[in-house]
Amino acid sequence: MARANRYYIPGCVWHITHRCHKREFLLQFAKDRKCYLSWLFEAKKRYGLKILDYIITSNHVHLLVQDTGKAVIPKSMQLIAGRTGQEFM
């Protein structure tokens, strides 16, 4: 089934669920969760991502963010996922 079209609605609050690759438990260690968290707050500084709440579990992350600009959330998620993936070893 095809994914539904995404619509941009400025100023809305979004609940984002981000799973680990293949639903594996890649965030089971504290050092990996801290890495994800540090990049989350780096995205806040770089792009102005407004973080309302978050929870990091061992295999997925829940984010509650408010949209502050058209490309803020996609750029932030690319930064967080990409850099956390690069540092994972």
Task: Express each pLDDT in 8-64 by its tens digit.
Answer: 778 899 999 988 888 788 888 999 999 999 999 999 999 999 999 999 999 999 999
> Structure tokens of 71?
């490309």
Terminal CA-to-CA distance of the chain, rounded, Å?
Answer: 34
**What per-residue confidence (pLDDT) applies to 60?**
93
**Is residue 28 one of the residues assigned to a domain?**
yes
**Is residue 29 one of the residues assigned to a domain?**
yes
Q: Read off the pTM.
A: 0.84
**Is residue 71 one of the residues assigned to a domain?**
yes
- Amino acid in the structure at residue 44: K
**Is residue 55 one of the residues assigned to a domain?**
yes
**What per-residue confidence (pLDDT) applies to 10?**
81
